[in-house]
């Protein structure tokens, strides 16, 4: 294992400047505190602005970059991991995930709920996504504990179990992001040109 340096463990963006997310995500996005982003409330008949859609797309890129970093850690277990990287992720993972989920639930979910009259399954879909958000946060806490243990030089659980935990987490996040990108965001974008209320009036 690579020992942590004495430098500050202020979490950087996990993509280290190599993907577009760094250009769009605030520099302090990975501050290790679970703070609720300040986002104005939204009615379901208010279409999303392009900047809001872009914000969610950038958050998706950030989540996928995090998954890539977790996968690299899983691939390098037990002896090739960077302990400082583990400590950084242990501090940042849960708070970053919470902020990303809050943005989605505040900006996108109310808009998508406006389609319930045309798509009765939408309410069930949004409820399932909220449940997945909560499950992912709980899982992230376990991942953080494991990363902290490895970062502090006390590997627990065993490498095989740690790798299984990591892969279960980042594969679930990737599936969640893929569904939102392929199914929900295009629908939210469509509402910029044809809000659900207008569609219903013309139906």
Task: Establish if 162 belongs to a structural domain.
Answer: yes
Domain coverage including residue 148: 47-202
pLDDT digits (tens, 9 = 90+) for 37-64: 545 455 555 678 889 999 999 999 999 9
What whole-number distance in Å separates Cα of residue 66 and Cα of residue 113?
29
Task: Establish if 11 belongs to a structural domain.
Answer: no
Task: Establish if 179 belongs to a structural domain.
Answer: yes
Q: How many CA atoms lie within 13 A of 79 on its CB side?
A: 0
pLDDT digits (tens, 9 = 90+) for 76-109: 998 999 999 999 999 999 999 999 999 999 989 8
Task: Establish if 22 belongs to a structural domain.
Answer: no
Q: Quick check: helix, strand or coil at residue 42?
A: coil
Task: Establish if 16 belongs to a structural domain.
Answer: no
The domain tally of the chain equals: 1
CATH number, position 168: 1.20.120
Task: Establish if 130 belongs to a structural domain.
Answer: yes
Task: Establish if 26 belongs to a structural domain.
Answer: no
Task: Establish if 13 belongs to a structural domain.
Answer: no
What whole-number distance in Å separates Cα of residue 115 and Cα of residue 27?
35
pLDDT of residue 11: 40
pTM of the model: 0.76
Contacts of 136 (CB under 8 A, 6+ apart): 97, 101, 169, 172, 173, 176
For 30, phi and psi rounded to 5 degrees? -95, 20
């Amino acid at each position: 294992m690579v020992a942590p340096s004495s430098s500050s463990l202020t979490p950087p963006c996990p993509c280290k400047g190599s993907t577009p997310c760094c250009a769009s995500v605030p520099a302090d996005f990975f501050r290790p505190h679970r703070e609720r982003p300040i986002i104005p409330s939204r009615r379901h008949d208010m279409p999303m602005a392009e900047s809001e859609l872009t914000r969610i797309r950038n958050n998706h890129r950030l989540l996928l970059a995090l998954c890539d970093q977790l996968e690299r850690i899983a691939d390098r277990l037990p002896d090739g991991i960077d302990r400082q990287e583990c400590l950084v992720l242990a501090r940042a993972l849960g708070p970053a995930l919470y902020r990303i989920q809050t943005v989605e639930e505040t900006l996108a979910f109310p808009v998508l709920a406006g389609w319930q009259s045309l798509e009765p399954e939408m309410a069930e879909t949004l409820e399932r996504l909220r449940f997945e958000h909560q499950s992912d946060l709980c899982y992230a806490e376990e991942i953080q504990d494991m990363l902290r243990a490895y970062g502090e030089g006390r590997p627990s659980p065993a490498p095989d179990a740690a790798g299984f935990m990591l892969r279960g987490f980042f594969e679930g996040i990737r599936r969640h992001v893929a569904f939102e990108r392929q199914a929900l965001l295009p629908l939210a974008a469509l509402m910029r040109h044809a809000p659900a209320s207008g569609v219903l009036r013309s139906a």
